Amino acid sequence: MRISVEPLRIEPPRGLVLLDQTRLPQDEVWLEISSVEALCEAIQMLRVRGAPLLGLAGACGLGIAAATRGVSAEHLMQSARQLRETRPTAVDLGAAVDAGLAAALSVPEPERLELLWKRAIEFKAQRIAEDEALAAFGAELVPTGAAVLTHCNTGALATGGSGTALGVISRAWDEGRLVRCYATETRPLLQGARLTAWELGRLGIPATLLPDTAAASLIASGTVGLVITGADRIAANGDSANKIGTYGLAAVASRHGVPFIIAAPRSTIDLTCPNGAGIPIEFRSASEVGGFGGQRWAPDGVDAYNPAFDVTPGELIAAIVTESGIAPPPFGPSLRALMSGQ
């Protein structure tokens, strides 16, 4: 297994070091995070992002809270709430924070700081191992000699391991199955152009970047044999929330008979959410649309519709790949069986 970069380094007892993803690919800037406030700002500003990596960041955030604010139940619960609310769509962040909080409150106060950092370190090791397992399952679904299309960023920058969809792509390349990866720019914040293209280059995988608006034409041309993305939350019926634009790719892929696959860890599956209507969708500032990096090309003051995610109906998804195996349609029973270990 190859990992393009280590985006988060844990440095207990006071903090962690993050690669600022908003500065890539031009600059590799590392941020020392030693307060809950600084971590929340990094999460909200997408300096650290990707559902699985946000879970790891949340686990570290509780360690930071214990070190800087104290280990009382009141302080830890307040910090957990603050971390959880930074980004509501990705289930991993809230789940990791809640699990860490429950574990900390189950032991005496003098043991909480060490416990929280131990859990964060174990979380990272688990994430790396799970990415490797997911990639092995997913690579089997890549047709030999195929090109694939992916959207947003799902590599090490999103998980801390080899990645989800990008981990599958990397494994398929190493196995000689893949000939090329097409990556959308992923507007408005260009995670594909800035991050996925950067990771593909570091991994030595032939890559072609395309505007989001060209993706339908690419799929219709027959150039790609598979579309594969990650997910930030998967409902019990298979409806999957992912970066805005994913739904459109799945719909076009279905129209042209190209399999559309989700690759995501089991932690992304939320069986308490019956369908996509129950997934909270984060809306972001209008300032992100109509310009980038301090340069503005749209008129000042124009309003913008800027959801960070959309929901792809399960009926458009050919398979959901996890570290525990592949869930086929119909997703209601297959996801329940996968989550129960059957």
Q: Where are the beta strands (DSSP E) in 178-313?
A: 178-184, 207-210, 226-229, 233-235, 240-243, 260-263, 269-270, 291-292, 295-296, 309-312
52 prior amide bond cis, ω within 30? no
CA proximity to 205, closest of 246, 243, 162, 161 = 162
92 classed as catalytic: no
Residue in this structure with the two tokens 């006071």, named with its chain if needed: 14
CA proximity to 309, closest of 234, 236, 227, 228 = 234
Strand 8-11 and strand 260-263: the pairing is unpaired
Q: How far apart are CA 318 and CA 329, in angstroms?
A: 7
Q: How far apart are CA 30 and CA 281, in angstroms?
A: 29
Which member of 92, 232, 239, 310 is catalytic? 232
Q: How far apart are CA 20 and CA 31, in angstroms?
A: 7
Q: How far apart are CA 102 and CA 242, in angstroms?
A: 28
Q: 52 with 267: CB under 8 angstroms?
A: yes
Structure tokens at 139: 């690579």
Residue 319: its H or E element: strand 319-322
By annotation, the residues acting in catalysis are 232
